[in-house]
Amino acid sequence: MQITKQIIETLKKHPTIIIHRHERPDPDAIGSQAGLAAILTASFPDKKILITGYNEESLTFLKAMDTVDDASYELAAVVVCDTANQPRIDDKRFSEGQILVKIDHHPIVDDYGHVSWVDTKASSTSEMIYRLAKEESLTITDEAARLLYAGIVGDTGRFLYPSTTDQTFAVAAALAKHHFDRTALYNQMYEVDPKIARLKGYLLDQINISSEGSTNVRLTKDVLAAYDITSEQTSALVGAYGDIKGIRCWAIFVEEDDKIRVRLRSKGPVINQLAAKYRGGGHPLASGATVMSWEEADQLIKDLDDICRAHNNENKKG
């Protein structure tokens, strides 16, 4: 049986469907979760469809979560959207339903769920939810279209990243036929907190590109205090050097009470082994690490430059 059909046949057997997604949600997590909920609500009006997880304040314009009591899980099918592994699922009650369904586009970290649909070629889980709805002739409401569109836009960086395929454009075009305010949606998604904007100014002012193409910045507690920014909030600035000519990889050091968090990014040199060396890990071009002192930060900067140099030499040869 086709996987989309298998998912819908499974969900049909349950009076309640509770949809989860990952912690620290992004627009695709909430877009796919709440978009699927809107589609199922319109398609199966007799069922109780709920979404759960904590409300991320900056994304409540997409959808606020439902309040889900424990009893609702008794007869429920649980769907988890956009989440590669179980520890990352928001709301730990996900295993308390009768059946678990995974829908995701990340490489498989953890093969969970009684039914699992993973398409690593999909730009976003939102794109997959659209295909699910289309394949199974479900009702796509305007609100569902707005949510799925937001998810696709979020995960593709406004159709910029290589994950954007002809299929992505086709799905976006179909969603754009629905009635929702795209301009308002973009404004909500991309408005920047003035405090973050000012700190970005600081980051850009600190650029000091090495001969190998690396740069780094130290956000000490004093700097964070001066800009009235928390360590968490600096995540919004991790890409700040991505479009600067000559920068191949960068480290953003963020001083916390007992350690220094390191956000690592690259446009070529592979950095996740470096991250692993410094108590972290992640993707080849996007990782995180931790150092315990500014001396150790200096060592990491040196290592980062070595990786950059090796990559540059490799490219010269090739």
Interaction of residue 305 with Mn ion, rule CB under 5 A: no
Location of structure tokens 């000091």: 208
Segment interacting with Mn ion, rule: CB under 5 A, options 75-83, 84-92, 159-167, 289-297: 75-83
Interaction of residue 104 with Mn ion, rule CB under 5 A: no
- Kindly state the number of chain residues that form the binding site for Mn ion, as judged by CB under 5 A: 5
Sheet holding 115-118, edge to edge: 48-51, 16-21, 76-81, 99-104, 115-118
Q: Are 119 and 106 in contact (CB under 8 A)?
A: no
Segment interacting with Mn ion, rule: CB under 5 A, options 21-29, 128-136, 169-177, 284-292: 21-29
The nearest distance, CB 128 to Mn ion, in angstroms, is 9
The nearest distance, CB 126 to Mn ion, in angstroms, is 7
- Looking at the Cβ atoms of 84 and 217, the one nearer to Mn ion is 84
- Looking at the Cβ atoms of 78 and 81, the one nearer to Mn ion is 81
Interaction of residue 90 with Mn ion, rule CB under 5 A: no
Site string for Mn ion, 196-215 (x = CB under 5 A): --------------------
80: Cβ–Cβ under 8 A, 6 or more apart, which residues?
19, 20, 21, 89, 94, 100, 101, 102, 103, 104, 112, 113
At residue 162's C-alpha, the angle toward residues 316 and 278, to 5°, is 65
The nearest distance, CB 252 to Mn ion, in angstroms, is 23
- Looking at the Cβ atoms of 28 and 212, the one nearer to Mn ion is 28
User: What span, in angstroms and rounded, lies between the C-alpha atoms of 91 and 295?
Assistant: 39
- Looking at the Cβ atoms of 37 and 224, the one nearer to Mn ion is 37
Radius of gyration of the chain measured on its C-alpha atoms: 21
- Looking at the Cβ atoms of 59 and 254, the one nearer to Mn ion is 59
Sign of CA dihedral 141, 143, 149, 152: negative
The nearest distance, CB 40 to Mn ion, in angstroms, is 19
Which residue's CB comes closest to Mn ion?
A: 28
11: Cβ–Cβ under 8 A, 6 or more apart, which residues?
17, 40, 44, 77, 79, 101
Site string for Mn ion, 143-162 (x = CB under 5 A): ------------x-------
Task: Report how far Cα 111 is from the mean position of its chain's Cα atoms.
Answer: 19
Three-class secondary structure of residue 131 per DSSP: helix
Q: List the one residue from 11, 20, 25, 28 that touches Mn ion (CB under 5 A).
A: 28
10 Å CB burial of residue 217 (0-12, 13-18, 19+) is buried
Count of residues making up the chain = 318
Binding residues among 39-68 for Mn ion as defined by CB under 5 A:
none
Q: Which helix (H) or strand (E) holds 261?
A: strand 260-266
The nearest distance, CB 200 to Mn ion, in angstroms, is 24
Interaction of residue 82 with Mn ion, rule CB under 5 A: yes
The nearest distance, CB 125 to Mn ion, in angstroms, is 5
Segment interacting with Mn ion, rule: CB under 5 A, options 28-36, 132-140, 165-173, 200-208: 28-36
Site for Mn ion, rule CB under 5 A: 28, 82, 124-125, 155
